[in-house]
């Protein structure tokens, strides 16, 4: 075991958690983490809302549901041990009409089946007690939902991993994966040139680049990653008291994305958003960032056109919200009537790595492919950050159970 060499591609929370888990189970392993940016948690991990999801929506028994609930417990324990701030601010899913109230019942049943603690439906009076500025005909209250800084969690996980012997290579972009007999050659590029290094096993969790890494490994093209940018506005400090906790809409099964919601953060900010617009680059956090190769890749992908044909109305609405501050705030004002256009300023943005199957359908659950000695996390959607420690357990245990020596 001491001479086993494992490469982990991706320095987000999932990659670092996997590196740490490998060394926890196999202290003699030699683990190297490749991250193309100059810091960890540079993309999805460091640009998400910071919500520790309790597991309300997910199909009971699904991998996503199981890993979320297990991940919440592990994350809470880790944050307590490392004195990482985590605020149990609670969450309300607010129904605006009777149709949405009916959907709340289905979500409550799922949440109860998933073991979410304290979940219950409340009426308008109790909603006003919890959130005096929020209005709705009913709400589903999840008191255990919390918020955290996932980038800070990632840094703490990296401290554990490096203390156990992991080597973290920043500024190393993986450009090639090649199996040669019982080994895998990883080619990486830095400012100083190109290098090829041999490993016994590779675990790739590249998020926005996961499909490209899979194809490097010889896997098929599906599912393909489509980058959807989520944009936020931030409520001005003097108006942050409009909410006490997380205020979410009731998901509409006709639409692929959740919609605008209100999210306090551990740093004191309160965000409204995100919308979901197709990004013009895989790492395009604004309209000015354009990648011709990325756009060409989208244009030649049949799955995207299938998806676009099914959801073009939603796409137009989301783009309108991106271009109009008034429209964006109006969506949140449906839940927080006192919120005004002048109460907000432009906030951060993030990119969601949305996996699409060949028929244009959204890949909703986690998807992992095993090819030779290369493991690729092809889809790790929200709540991946919440579930990171459980995902790490699952991936490493699956490899071990397959009796492939680490």
Looking at the chain, the whole-number percentage of residues with pLDDT higher than 70 is: 98
Judge if 5-46+151-221+364-401 and 224-244+253-362 fold alike in CATH terms: no
Match 């888990």 to its residue by tokens: 21
Average pLDDT over residues 148-172: 98
**For the chain, domain boundaries:** 5-46+151-221+364-401, 91-143, 224-244+253-362
Q: Which of 109, 128, 134 is nearest to 119 (CA)?
A: 109
Q: Which of 149, 121, 13, 66 is nearest to 397 (CA)?
A: 66
Q: What dotted CATH number matches 224-244+253-362?
A: 3.30.9
Which region among 52-56, 150-154, 356-360, 361-365 has the lowest average model confidence (pLDDT)?
361-365
Local confidence band at 113 (pLDDT 50, 70, 90 cut-offs): very high
Q: What dotted CATH number matches 5-46+151-221+364-401?
A: 3.50.50.60
- Is residue 406 predicted with pLDDT exceeding 50? no
Average pLDDT over residues 256-285: 93
Contact 72, 86 (CB under 8 A): no
Provide the 3-class DSSP secondary structure of residue 350.
Answer: strand
- Is residue 70 predicted with pLDDT exceeding 80? yes
Q: What is the mean pLDDT of the chain?
A: 94
- Is residue 382 predicted with pLDDT exceeding 90? no
Burial class (CB in 10 A: 0-12, 13-18, 19+), 38: exposed
Local confidence band at 403 (pLDDT 50, 70, 90 cut-offs): low
What does the alpha-carbon distance between residue 18 and residue 15 come to, in Å, rounded to a whole number? 5
Contact 278, 315 (CB under 8 A): yes
The percent helix, strand, coil of the chain (3-state, each to 5) is 35, 30, 35
In this predicted structure, what is the pLDDT of residue 3?
57
pTM for this prediction:
0.95
Which region among 49-58, 234-243, 251-260, 355-364 has the lowest average model confidence (pLDDT)?
251-260
Q: Of 279 and 400, which is predicted with more confidence?
A: 279
Q: How far is CA 226 from the centre of its chain?
A: 14
- Is residue 174 predicted with pLDDT exceeding 60? yes
Q: CA gyration radius for the chain?
A: 21
- Is residue 283 predicted with pLDDT exceeding 60? yes
């Amino acid at each position: 075991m001491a001479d086993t060499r494992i490469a982990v591609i991706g320095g987000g929370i999932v990659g670092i958690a996997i590196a740490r888990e490998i060394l926890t189970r196999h202290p003699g392993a030699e683990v190297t983490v490749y991250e193309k940016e100059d810091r960890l948690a540079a993309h999805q991990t460091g640009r998400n809302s910071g919500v520790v999801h309790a597991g309300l929506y997910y199909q009971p028994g699904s991998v996503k549901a199981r890993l979320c609930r297990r991940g919440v417990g592990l994350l809470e324990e880790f944050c307590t041990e490392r004195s990482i701030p985590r605020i149990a601010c609670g969450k309300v899913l607010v129904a605006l009409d009777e149709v949405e109230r009916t959907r709340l019942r289905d979500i409550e049943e799922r949440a109860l089946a998933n073991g979410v603690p304290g979940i219950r439906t409340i009426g308008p009076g109790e909603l006003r007690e919890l959130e005096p500025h929020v209005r709705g005909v009913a709400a589903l209250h999840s008191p255990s939902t919390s918020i955290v800084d996932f980038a800070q969690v990632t840094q703490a996980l990296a401290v554990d991993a490096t203390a156990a012997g992991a080597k973290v290579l920043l500024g190393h972009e993986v450009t090639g994966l090649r199996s040669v007999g019982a080994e895998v050659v990883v080619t990486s590029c830095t400012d100083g040139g190109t290098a090829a290094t041999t490993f016994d096993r590779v675990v790739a969790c590249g998020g926005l680049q996961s499909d490209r890494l899979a194809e490097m490994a010889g896997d098929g093209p599906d599912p393909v990653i489509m980058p959807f940018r989520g944009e936020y506005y931030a409520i001005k400090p003097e108006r942050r008291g409009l909410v006490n906790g997380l205020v979410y809409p009731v998901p509409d099964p006709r639409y692929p994305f959740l919609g605008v919601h209100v999210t306090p953060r551990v740093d004191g900010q309160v965000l409204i958003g995100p919308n979901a617009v197709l990004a013009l680059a895989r790492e395009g956090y604004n309209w000015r960032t354009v990648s011709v190769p990325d756009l060409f890749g989208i244009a030649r992908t049949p799955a995207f056109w299938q998806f676009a044909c099914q959801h073009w109305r939603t796409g137009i609405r989301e783009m309108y919200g991106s271009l109009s501050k008034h429209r964006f705030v109006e969506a949140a004002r449906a839940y927080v009537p006192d919120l005004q256009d002048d109460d907000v300023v432009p906030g951060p943005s993030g990119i969601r790595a949305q996996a699409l199957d060949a028929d244009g359908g959204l890949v909703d659950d986690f998807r992992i492919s095993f090819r030779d000695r290369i493991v690729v996390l092809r889809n790790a959607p929200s709540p991946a950050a919440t579930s990171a420690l459980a995902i790490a357990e699952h991936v490493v245990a699956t490899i071990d159970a397959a009796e492939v020596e680490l």
